[in-house]
Amino acid sequence: MGKRDDLIEKYADDLRKKCGMEPDMALLTKVTIGCGPAIYDADASTVASSQEGELETVKNNFLIKKLGLKDGPELMEAIQSVVATYGQSERNKYRAVVYYMLTKHFSKESVYG
């Protein structure tokens, strides 16, 4: 297995143990690939959920640009909900896991079809 496969397995483990959900491995793989080289960078691979600017970046670059959603208060509410599911105290919130949960939340799996 390659480094990406190891990371996908780690993300799946987080979804099971920290988020209480069984991951759709095909979708998780596609979301992880969609994150590009960011998954290999220690800083870029995680979402700093306590920083407002970081949450705005997730909203603008992922929810609006990637998933094609219209801007509105429900976007930030969804991000907050995902952060709460992951665990507010959880230090490392992996970007791929957050993006996966947001994709599922908005039923936008078709974007990765």
Listed by start position, the domains of the chain span 3-112
Q: How many CB atoms lie within 10 A of CB 44?
A: 13
Query: Nearest-5° angle of CA 90, CA 98, CA 63?
Result: 140
In single-letter form, the type of residue at position 60 comes to N
Give pairs for 76-84: CB < 8 Å, separation 24+. 78/102, 78/105, 78/106, 79/55, 80/55, 81/105, 83/47, 83/49
Task: State residue 47's pLDDT score.
Answer: 96
pLDDT tens-place string over residues 24-55:
999 999 999 999 999 999 999 999 999 999 99
Where are the extended beta strands (E) located within the chain?
Answer: none
pLDDT tens-place string over residues 55-78:
999 999 999 999 999 999 999 999
Note the pTM of the prediction, 2 decimals.
Answer: 0.96
Compute CA distances 32 → 24, 57, 69, 73, 101, whole Å. 12, 17, 20, 26, 12
**May I ask the CATH architecture of the domain 3-112?**
Orthogonal Bundle (1.10)
pLDDT band for 11, please (50, 70, 90 cuts). very high
Query: Nearest-5° angle of CA 99, CA 53, CA 51?
Result: 85
Alpha carbon distance 14, 18 (integer Å): 5
Average pLDDT, the chain: 96
